[in-house]
Amino acid sequence: MLLEQALDRLLAGETPDPSAMREILSQGDADQDYAGMVRIVFERVMPMTWAELEQRYKRPDGGT
């Protein structure tokens, strides 16, 4: 659901909600169940890579 909302905002020329993007990042953390699936679906749906997501939305302290 978060991914769909973020994509809708991007397609409308808007900026996705940063807290939603950080939540997507946390769901793709290596210690989470289905992290690989989250990352693959993200990269197939969104117009950015997982690395770009991390670069744009990861907190300066290294957390998500």
pLDDT digits (tens, 9 = 90+) for 28-45: 999 999 999 999 999 999
**DSSP one-letter code for 15:** P
Q: What is the pTM of this model?
A: 0.82
Q: Using 50, 70 and 90 to split pLDDT, how confident is the model at 59?
A: low
Task: Please name the residue that has the structure tokens 């659901």.
Answer: 1
Q: How far apart are CA 6 and CA 63, in angstroms?
A: 20
Contact 45, 5 (CB under 8 A): no
